[in-house]
Amino acid sequence: MKAALILFTLFSFPTWAASGVKGSVISPKECSSPVMVWVSLDKDEYKERLLLMHTEVPVGGTFQFYLKPGNYQIRASDEKGCEFLKKIKVDKAVGQLQVKMEKK
């Protein structure tokens, strides 16, 4: 019975389960809120800068991008010029990301 339940759980896992990245934003005092978080393709020189989406997130807040498996750049910026940049690889799951803003 247990084996049957385990098999059922395995095979009933939804094939549409989202992939992408779930993030939260932290920021030092010299930076400001809100922060704009940008996601772009990271494939080759041209497409690297192809912007897909962006969202405004208050410091401490959370966001989620639902993305196809692939390579992306997550950039964040605020009004005072603080920044964050990270290249990420998305597979068939939701990854976690901490957007840590820094004064440049």
Contact set with another protein (CB under 8 A) = 14, 16, 18-20, 22-23, 36, 38-41, 49-58, 60-68, 75, 77, 79
Count CB atoms within 10 A of the CB of residue 36.
13
Closer by beta carbon to another protein, 5 or else 16: 16
Closer by beta carbon to another protein, 55 or else 100: 55
Supply 52's token pair: 């897909």
Helices (H), 1-104: 2-11
Are 36 and 54 spatial neighbours (Cβ–Cβ below 8 Å)?
A: yes
Closer by beta carbon to another protein, 6 or else 36: 36
Residue 9 Cβ vs another protein, minimum distance, rounded to whole Å: 15
Is 37 strand, coil or helix? strand
Residue 8 Cβ vs another protein, minimum distance, rounded to whole Å: 18
